[in-house]
Structure formats: structure tokens, C-alpha cells
């Protein structure tokens, strides 16, 4: 299991829910891309997605009404 410091990931006001959904979507994309190229990945796709997020290779857009109850 991955134990990640979430503080740097939550900068910019995104919610934990959006973070998890965004990383999961990118993780599936990475797995699909590797599968299309018949490439075997050494690292877990979630780790690769988190690394990409930290490097700024993709962003997570928070819906405007996400914080309303």
C-alpha cells in the first residue's frame, strides 16, 4: 500500500475526493496506454499517476459546486 503525504497534493483547494478520482482516472489511462504498447510496468500505476501530478504533468479540476452542502 502507498502511504503518501497528501498536503502537497491538496494544494490549490482540491478536495480529497477529487484527488482520489483524478489519480484513479490517470492511473487507468497509464495502464491502458501500457497495455496498448504491450509494455510491462515495473511501478504501480497509482504511484506513476501521483508522480505525474506532483510534476505538474496533469491537473485536477475541482467542480465549482463541490464544496456546497
DSSP string, 8-67: TTTTTS--HHHHHHHHHHHHHHHHHHHHHTTPPPSS-HHHHHHHHHHHTSS--PPPTTTT
How far is residue 35's CA from residue 55's CA, in Å, rounded to a whole number?
Answer: 23
- Residue 69 has what pLDDT? 47
Q: Write out the three cell numbers for 68.
A: 456546497
- Residue 1 has what pLDDT? 61
Give per-residue pLDDT as tens, 27-66: 999 999 999 999 999 999 999 999 999 898 988 887 766 5
Instruction: Give 14's pLDDT tier (boundaries 50, 70, 90).
Output: confident
pTM for this entry: 0.80
- Residue 66 has what pLDDT? 55
Amino acid at each position: 500500500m502507498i502511504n503518501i503525504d497528501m498536503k502537497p497534493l491538496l494544494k490549490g483547494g482540491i478536495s480529497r475526493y477529487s484527488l482520489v478520482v483524478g489519480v484513479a482516472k490517470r492511473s487507468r489511462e497509464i495502464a491502458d496506454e501500457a497495455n496498448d504498447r504491450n509494455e510491462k510496468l515495473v511501478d504501480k500505476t497509482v504511484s506513476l499517476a501521483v508522480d505525474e501530478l506532483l510534476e505538474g504533468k496533469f491537473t485536477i479540476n475541482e467542480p465549482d459546486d463541490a464544496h456546497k452542502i
